[in-house]
């Protein structure tokens, strides 16, 4: 397993369109704390970004010796809104972006059964370029609960279409997310996101789910108790001999200083990845 740092660490939880740190500072943090890659989002570079800017970002990544673990090319996908699945109907700009960034994985969004057909078409086009597509285990999507996530992956039925395993979303919906669940998803396990929430009726952030309605959470570090059982999750990944990226995906702006969050996240994860 290798560590990846999402540029989301410099976003506020409720604003996915703006990074609060210049990209060179994110790269410096990634290098300082031993990350091998950066997970790129549209707050830094997306399908709306001029190609010359994207190429300059790639140059900076090369100079820093860092890869791009995954690309999220627009704002609708991470916002998980009704426009989220639109990229499946026109995947080419996202493939172009991934190619410029030398990335081989793109995050997508699916909300309705009809999205399955378009996911198949998008996966076929991506396969021509050696690129994979993946969907996060995310609330208010076809992947909100493990049973439906597995059903959807089987329905898409493409070897280059898989899962971004992110246990916090399943945890807050009261779903099982541990070793037994992971075994079922082993053939589809393309990426791992780590972030953490504590469910509390008076939690600072309201989230809307399909299975439980509004869920209120507080954002906590992956090293803190009261949320996801990360020791169990990381042991399960190790037992499965997972060799992909583990990405620190949490939005820390407004929660704690970004560098402190990156340092503590890296120190915590390295205990389990060695």
Domain boundaries, the chain: 2-273
pLDDT at 10: 82
pLDDT at 13: 61
CATH for the stretch 2-273: 3.20.20.150
pLDDT at 252: 74
Which tens digits make up the pLDDT trace of 171-189?
999 999 999 999 999 999 9
Q: Note whether 162 and 190 are within 8 A (CB).
A: yes
pLDDT at 12: 61
Per-residue confidence of the chain (274 residues) as pLDDT tens digits? 899 999 998 876 666 677 778 999 999 999 999 999 999 999 999 999 999 999 999 999 999 999 999 999 999 999 999 999 999 999 999 999 999 999 999 999 999 999 999 999 999 999 999 999 999 999 999 999 999 999 999 999 999 999 999 999 999 999 999 999 999 999 999 999 999 999 999 999 999 999 999 999 999 999 999 999 999 999 999 999 999 999 999 877 667 889 999 999 999 999 988 6
The structure's pTM equals 0.96
pLDDT at 15: 63
pLDDT at 21: 87
């Amino acid at each position: 397993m290798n560590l990846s740092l999402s540029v989301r660490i410099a976003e506020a939880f409720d604003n996915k369109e703006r990074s609060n740190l210049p990209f060179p500072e994110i790269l410096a943090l990634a290098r300082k704390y031993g990350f091998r890659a950066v997970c790129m989002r549209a707050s830094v570079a997306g399908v709306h970004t001029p190609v010359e800017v994207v190429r300059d970002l790639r140059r900076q990544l090369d100079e820093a010796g860092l890869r791009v673990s995954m690309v999220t090319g627009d704002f609708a996908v991470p916002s998980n809104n009704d426009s989220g699945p639109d990229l499946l109907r026109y995947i080419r700009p996202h493939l172009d972006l991934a190619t410029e960034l030398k990335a081989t994985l793109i995050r997508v969004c699916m909300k309705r059964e009809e999205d399955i057909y378009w996911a198949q078409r998008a996966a076929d086009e991506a396969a021509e370029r050696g690129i994979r597509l993946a969907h996060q285990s995310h609330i208010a999507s076809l992947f909100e609960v493990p049973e439906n996530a597995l059903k959807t992956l089987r329905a898409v039925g493409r070897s280059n279409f898989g899962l971004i395993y992110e246990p916090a979303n399943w945890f807050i919906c009261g779903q099982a997310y541990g070793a037994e669940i992971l075994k079922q998803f082993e053939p589809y396990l393309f990426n791992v996101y780590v972030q953490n929430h504590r469910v509390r009726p008076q939690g600072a952030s309201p989230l809307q789910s399909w299975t439980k309605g509004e869920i209120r959470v507080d954002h906590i570090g992956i090293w803190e108790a009261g949320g996801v059982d990360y020791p169990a999750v990381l042991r399960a990944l190790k037992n499965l001999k997972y060799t992909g990226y583990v990405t620190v995906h949490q939005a820390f702006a407004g929660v704690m200083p970004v560098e402190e969050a990156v340092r503590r996240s890296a120190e915590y994860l390295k205990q389990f990845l060695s």
